[in-house]
Structure 1
Amino acid sequence: MAELNIRYSRTPHSEKLKWVDRMTKVMDNQFRFPGTNWRFGLDPLLGLFPGVGDLASFVVSALLIMTMARHGASGKLVTLMLLNSAMDAIIGSIPLLGNIFDFAYKANERNVKMLRSHYEQGKYQGSGKGIVMGVLVAVLLITVVMIWLMWQIIAWSYRMLGEYL
């Protein structure tokens, strides 16, 4: 798989966006299954730790999105990125199914590809300071949904276990 190096020639803070590339690689493509070209990153590995790992992975994704928002991503693009990351986090928090999903979905890589397309189409919008507050609110809401979902799964598991005892 090719590196996700984006051409940020129109942005004043290209080092911050290079950080986005590096973190995306670490989260989605850092490792390779031996004998194959199939890559994975820390995201699915963190997902092996129920709840806490998915939440940590989502926080990293949110930081990446906030960095992209501050460096010219439009509100529409940021919304689409948040939806990608939210779907990854919420489905990823479901035991077993979520772990398989995490290995395949790669939300951060999808977000960087959307950002690349955004820049190539000339839609760079400068500072996204107004969007950052919206991102923070969305991250908070998604975190609450994840915690609620984990609580529901734990409660369901407890009830099922009680029926067998």
Structure 2
Amino acid sequence: MDFELPLGNDPVSVRRRVEALERVLERAFTVPGIRRQVGLDAVVGLVPVAGDVVAAAMGLYLVWEARNLGMSKWQLARMTANVGFDTLVGAVPIAGDLFDFLFRSNSRNLRIIRKHLDKHYPQTRVIDG
């Protein structure tokens, strides 16, 4: 399958990019046995320090896209707090790794972005079949 992400700055392109990134970060594959979806955020977080920094940088990309959409400072602050909380707690050895499987900051941030897009750019909605 040939899949390309749009490069534009229009709301439709941004929506497709942030939804794809959230899918990769939070729901890339299913853990056999427990049928729990996990993504790169949890897997990369297993690498001490560097993994948490990389996961935070990828999460902050969603915040950057939200800023480019003109979202409010309050929304951006909430999104940044989600990433910061995930990073701080995720940095705790062992307990933080378990936390990464439960707290999905990128999914929370995607909900904030979708709510903004649905309100201000309703034409970007896609009906899932």
Same fold, judged at TM 0.5 (above): yes
Q: TM-score, normalised by structure 1?
A: 0.63
Name the one with the larger helix percent: 1
Which entry has the higher C-alpha Rg, 1 or 2? Answer: 1
**Which residue pairs with 1:161 in the alignment?**
none
Q: Secondary structure at the match of 1:39?
A: strand
CA offsets, 1:121-155, max 9 Å, x none?
A: 4499xxxxxxxxxxxxxxxxxxxxxxxxxxxxxxx
Query: What is the rounded CA distance, in whole Å, between the counterparts of 2:120 and 2:61 in structure 1?
Result: 24
TM-score by length of structure 2 reads: 0.80
Residue equivalent to 2:60? 62
- CA-based RMSD: 2.0
Residues 1:110 and 2:108 aligned together? yes
Unmatched runs of 5 consecutive residues or more in structure 1: 1-10, 125-165
Q: Deviations over 1:92-115 (max 9, x none)?
A: 011001000001111001100112
Q: 1:17 touches 1:67 (CA, 8 Å); kept in 2?
A: no
- Number of residue pairs the alignment of both structures matches: 114
Aligned-pair CA distance for 1:41: 0.3
CA contact (8 A) 1:47 1:102 kept: yes
Query: Cα 1:58–1:121, aligned 2, differ >3 Å: closer, same or farther?
Result: same
Amino acid at match of 1:60: M
Q: List structure 1 runs of 4+ shifted beyond 6 angstroms.
A: none
Q: Displacement of 1:36 after TM fit? A: 4.6
**Structure 2 gap ranges (5+):** 1-8, 123-129
Q: Is the 8 A contact 1:17 1:68 kept in 2?
A: no
